[in-house]
Structure 1
């Protein structure tokens, strides 16, 4: 992957704002291109022993610059929203979870993205039939949607 593409993308203010808004009170991971000794791409989940968090859009470029040697390429955030994220123990405390977002992962085995979209639409329709519609969003990632 051309490392300049993620840098250009995260350089956009609207992208950083959306990421920061979604990541608020969530445990964050920074997915990097560089691989570890095991051959797997590095995921940075902690900073100075504390869970990685993003509280503002300005922190996104700061994180990218701090870990530029690892070539950051994507941000991930938990489905859980926490009351506090000060230490590792906060992640283990179920009473610290304020909300959880249900997530469906729809991948395509044969590469037909149209099937993925149809399945996502079915799930959205079902949720809408139960009155859930304001907090539903679909994101595309690689082979499918979440």
Structure 2
């Protein structure tokens, strides 16, 4: 009898959705097999090259190449790259083509309603910045990821900055705006709800329709108008409900937010510091408004 993993990753819709998201991204695999300490083995390279997925058939090839370890969870970087041929390609910021701004929402699965509330707070904050069409949400394991489609940002928004700088600034700006409300929800609902900015050079997120590494749940996508209807059964491997229109976006929709966020937040902090160079967000916004009015 085939395992849950074999049954799941043999589905055409699963392979198709993973391949769509994975295009031009660096892939990581959590294997079924565990190491001596009981942790799932993580693989990011095969034959000395970064793992990539360009088509549904590549997932079948992954199973063949990893048949002694098995495939449990498939991840892809938030970054998209110009090329992914050598190890050096994933180390170079100049090789980054695009970067998907992502808010990481961590919580206990039993408090899924609180997680949905956090998603809605982020989405409302993005709407206040003129962004509605380029947002999608992935439910992953115990929490969720709110994604802003990377193509909602044009080259105009970069203005000499790298895609990762712009993504970091956007995520941090919105995170700080919603932080008071997130804390209120956590206290009121008595849960461990957190919204984090995990943007870094090699950050990976679960691919749509991948299985979670530990729990038998599927990573499903939703558009904002579906959040109010979410049910835990949507992530069940046997009954999952997934919106394949997650990749809809409006080109340039996030350009104005990018300009504001970069002006207020700046880019990705150096690794050793990773400390905010600004004080309170309200004060930073007021300074930005004064500068804008003087121009």
Same fold per superposition (TM over 0.5): yes
- Structure with the larger helix share: 2
State the alpha-carbon separation in 1 of the partners of residues 47 and 127 from structure 2: 42
Q: Which runs of 5+ in 2 are unaligned?
A: 146-295
Q: Which runs of 5+ in 1 are unaligned?
A: none
State the alpha-carbon separation in 2 of the partners of residues 134 and 63 from structure 1: 34
Shift of 1:110: 7.5
SS at match of 2:33: strand
State the alpha-carbon separation in 1 of the partners of residues 87 and 17 from structure 2: 26
Partner of 1:135: 134
Q: Greater CA radius of gyration, 1 or 2?
A: 2
State the alpha-carbon separation in 1 of the partners of residues 109 and 46 from structure 2: 39
Partner of 1:89: 88
State the alpha-carbon separation in 2 of the partners of residues 44 and 104 from structure 1: 24
Shift of 1:76: 0.1
TM-score under structure 1 normalisation? 0.90
State the alpha-carbon separation in 2 of the partners of residues 110 and 45 from structure 1: 28
Partner of 2:20: 21
The number of aligned residues is 145
TM-score under structure 2 normalisation? 0.46
State the alpha-carbon separation in 1 of the partners of residues 133 and 59 from structure 2: 27
Q: Which runs of 4+ in 1 moved over 4 A?
A: none
Pairwise CA RMSD of aligned residues?
A: 1.8
SS at match of 2:85: coil
Shift of 1:4: 1.6
Matched, 1:113 2:112: yes
State the alpha-carbon separation in 2 of the partners of residues 13 and 30 from structure 1: 19
State the alpha-carbon separation in 2 of the partners of residues 81 and 126 from structure 1: 25
